[in-house]
A and B are shown apart, each in its own frame.
Chain A
Amino acid sequence: MITATKPATVPLRFSLPIGGIAGASFKPEHLAAILEAAPQAGFFEVHAENYMGAGGAPHRALEAVRRDHPLSLHGVCMSIGGPQPLDKTHLARFRSLVARYQPALVSEHLAWSTHETSFFNDLLPLPYTEATLACVCDHIDEVQEAIRRPLLLENPSTYVTFRQSTMNETDFLRAITARTGCGLLLDVNNVFVSATNHGYSALDYLGDFPLAHVEEIHLAGHAEQADDDGNLLLIDSHDGPVADAVWKLYEIIVARRGPVPTLIEWDSKIPEWPVLRAEAAAAQAILDRCRTVTETDDRRAA
């Protein structure tokens, strides 16, 4: 006889769209400062893999933050862009986290990080072809089936391109959303980094981006290097404030797309909480300005 086990009831909170609010990466060193202040209006995003341990302080910290704030669960290691089948154990862990914390947003990357049994701990690039498109779509179907909700897929920062690519990144992403129903996480810093590295216009890329599917935006800092020819090579380092040029692109996107949840990512050389909070407040100001403009337009139209 097969007995179905009823899953534990999980309180569903903040499951509705959270709208145009800004958030910040949650870093455990900021926990005390965050809890001391009154609940923030914003949301917090965590890397899913950091909360895949069985118990202890990480889960206690996340529960404390989750109590008063919407949560965004950002997967870094699913290797959705890789040719090999997804790691079923990892997918099960991801699914459990989604069930346990009921995040407002769930996202992953258009990249790969595992080959055979080796995990490379980086977001590695893939060619854009019909074959890779089919493979990525199968993987997203599998994730969405497991978590029972749409996933947001993030555009990558890249440093190289593949000779075998037959379509550009925006067409590739558009085809993914059409086939899988997933949403997109538009990382504006990644757009700026890739456009600079490959020598195309970030604005043209964004003009071609399927903005209607964007449900979250990422902003982050980058670092500057040079390639073999002395061309500027930007590194997606997440170790400093958002660059002015990226803020500019962000304003343009928000004006076109309308307010969407926006995250300030900061993963290395992490500053005191007030510095990160101020970056999130700067994003919130842009979102609010856009909302005011939209409301004024609505009134005029009415």
Chain B
Amino acid sequence: MIAVRPEADLGFAAAFAPPLLDPARDAPTDVTGRNGKPAGRRYDVYRNNVTVSLIDALAAIYPAVQRITGTDFFRAMARFHVRNTLPISPLLFDYGRDFPDFVANYAHAKDMPWLADVARIERAWLDAYHAADALPLPPARLSAIALERLGDLVLTPHPAARIVRSQYAAVTIFAANRDSAPAARIDASTPEDALITRAEFEVVVRHLPPGGAVFAASLMSGEPLGVSAMAAFDASAEFDIAANIAGLIAAGAFTSIAFGDPA
């Protein structure tokens, strides 16, 4: 049985919460410092804990973005995002899903148009890291299938597999900024697509060849191999079906095979 509580006694959270993210608002009046004095800087400890811990959470999810922009730039950008978009889950590794779109529209980052795509790769990296464990499809399974049936083949994507497409060299920029080694000059204008997989415990980010992203995305959405290959050829005349299917399976992008409904 749930008893109804007097609202006045339980309104403390509704009074305490709103100023946490809004420095323009005064501290709530029902909390005090010593001897009934206004809470002042004591309440600010909570404001600081909330904002700083969430900025830290974004920095942990997006280390390459932070390395590219520098810490001060990143933390200022993250602070705006935290104030506009609080987590809705207590699982911090789920936080920051809106951050890449926020970065894409962030006025001070307009001269880094590839930054949002680097963030999208980092977000996919963390999702792959925490995804359910599953054994990847052994490459030998495919060679056992009769050639005439290949077109109807349907593959089950691995829970960790992700694709991120970019009009910029996001994969190269991501890879160059995920560790502390000095980064060489990169031509950012080359479009690159990323395949993110985690066959066992290590997340690997690969650069997909021409047509590869369309092919992989189509397969991962449940389309048969034949349909997916046609879509990939439409996207790029250079598409190499044998190399792409072998590459996806070697990367651990799929867990099992089935055959599409012939109807």
Contacts and interface: CB of A to CB of B under 8 A. Distances in A.
Interface residues of B, number: 52
Contact of A132 (B10, B38, B39, B92): B10
A49 B92 contact: yes
B131 A56 contact: yes
B92 A233 contact: no
Interface in B1-55: 2-3, 5-6, 9-14, 16-17, 20, 30-34, 36-43, 45-46, 49-50, 53-54
B90 A77 contact: yes
A16 interface: no
A135 B31 contact: no
Given A121-B50, A227-B41, A233-B42, A83 B13 contact: yes
Contacts, number: 155
Interface in B82-96: 86-93
Nearest to B38: A228
Contacts of A70: none
Contacts of B3: 134, 138
B114 interface: no
Interface in A142-163: 159-163
A131 B9 CA distance: 6
Interface string B84-125: 001111111100000000000000000000000000000000
21 contacts: A49-B90, A83-B11, A83-B12, A87-B90, A117-B88, A118-B87, A124-B13, A124-B46, A125-B31, A131-B6, A131-B9, A132-B12, A134-B5, A135-B10, A159-B42, A162-B12, A197-B42, A198-B34, A225-B45, A227-B33, A233-B42
Interface of B: 2-3, 5-6, 9-14, 16-17, 20, 30-34, 36-43, 45-46, 49-50, 53-54, 57, 86-93, 128-134, 159-160, 198, 201
